[in-house]
Amino acid sequence: MIASKVISIILGGGQGSRLFPLTATRSKPAVPIAGKYRLVDIPISNCLNAGLNRIFVLTQFNSASLNKHIKNTYHFSVFSKAFVDILAAEQTPGNTGWYQGTADAVRQSLHHLKQHDFEYVLILSGDQLYQMDFEMMINNHVEKGADITIATIPVNAKDGTSFGILKADAETNITSFTEKPNADQIIGWESEVSEEMHAQGRNYLASMGIYVFNKDVLISMLEGNENHDFGKEIIPGAVGHKKVISYQYEGYWTDIGNIDSFFEANLGLTDDVPQFNLFDKNPVYSRARMLPPTKILSTKLEKTIIADGCIINAEEIVHSVIGIRTRIGKGTKISDCYVMGSDHYQTIEEIEGANKSQRPLTGIGENCVISNAILDKNCFIGNNVTIKGGHHLADFEHEKYTIKEGIIVVKKNAVIEEGTVIG
């Protein structure tokens, strides 16, 4: 079975500054998504659903919450060789620095990989949303005798300027590569795509940052040089010297690179037929929490996903994702929001103490109006609070919230006092 010959590596990324403030205290792969998962659950689930159960997650920034999540989530039989392990950047006699890029991260981790028996390495990103059958991709890699396979997705000319663009021949061999060409440079970089993609004007093959390497090829290309990045250095250097092929993917895929794409991806889950299907036969795995079912009292709900353990008294919730353990008070109206929820419930004694001292409770109070916003974990939103995002708002940084692209992001553990107006 091919899966037994594969080691998977998930790259945790750098500081994640474009996702700030969601990455202020956590790494990108640990950012909550869809109300109950973490971003890292997506590539791990794709691996497990393909039978790939030897997985390393490489990280170096704010890794504590990611370590805790993986430790509490991915358990395997003691008789199995399966694992999901964190490899944090570490100082060694041969290296005293941080990871300098995607390729450098894998290079510094090679001594851990070499302790295992494998023939192929699957390299993934920790901040993408998609459902993909990696077994088919790896089988295609083996059948075609490739040294390197790059997962590609057809894009139009406008979107192509944001990606590494590959040119492939009729046999899917990649013949050339260019990193983020401008509108003039991308002309002539069209590749063979399906009729459906061609009809949509998606004639350019963008790298998805998903690679399959033969073991010996990866080691030879990493050892003995100082190339730091796969997309900018390793892959361009391999084209024309190694057998590099394209594996074309035409399903839903998005790179969660900034607040806007993160917000759009989450709210897209509320569509009648979402592009990312949480109800697919192949599940998204995450931490199993022993939470009660959600309780809803007299609330109008429309195009909304609600996770476990919530107590909802709101007047209405529209086009929103509500995360675990969320409490929402009477008369509150929420639209176009991602509310991440809470890590803990308040006890009766804590609630009574907060009421006596007139402090906001965990969650969202009564008679609030909140729209176009992300509420990070463990927010305390008082009664009669108004939070209204919109494109008319300029980017802004505050102690308790951030505004990016018109989206108001209330920071983790923020306390928003009664009657506050934001936006």
Domains of the chain in start order, with CATH, are: 2-268 (3.90.550.10), 295-422 (2.160.10.10)
pLDDT for 202 beyond 70:
yes
Residue 92 clears pLDDT 70, i.e. is over it: no
User: To the nearest whole number, what is the mean pLDDT of the chain?
Assistant: 91
> Which residues does 283 contact at the CB level (< 8 Å), separation at least 6?
45, 49
**The pLDDT of residue 94 is above 70:** no
pLDDT greater than 60 at residue 271? yes
Tens of pLDDT, residues 301-343? 999 999 999 999 999 999 999 999 999 999 999 999 999 999 9
Answer whether 269's CB lies under 8 Å from 120's CB: no
Q: How confident is the model at residue 113 (pLDDT cuts 50, 70, 90)?
A: confident
Contacts of 256 (CB under 8 A, 6+ apart): 19, 28, 31, 33, 39, 127, 128, 129, 262, 265
**C-alpha span between 6 and 26 (Å, rounded):** 29
Q: The pTM is what? A: 0.92
Compute φ and ψ for 388, nearest 5 degrees: -130, 105
* Residue 82 structure tokens: 């399966």
pLDDT in tens, 258-267: 999 999 999 9
Percentage of the chain lying above the pLDDT 70 cut: 95
* CA atoms within 13 Å, Cβ hemisphere of 176: 9
Q: Distance between CA atoms of 308 and 35, rounded to whole angstroms?
A: 9
Asked whether the predicted pLDDT for residue 96 surpasses 60, the reply is: no
Question: What strand order describes the sheet that includes 295-296?
Answer: 295-296, 311-312, 327-328, 363-364, 380-381, 415-416
d(CA 335, CA 316): 8
Nearest to 247 by CA among 139, 125, 147, 152: 152
pLDDT band at 14 (very low <50, low <70, confident <90, very high): low
- Cβ atoms 377, 408 nearer than 8 A: no
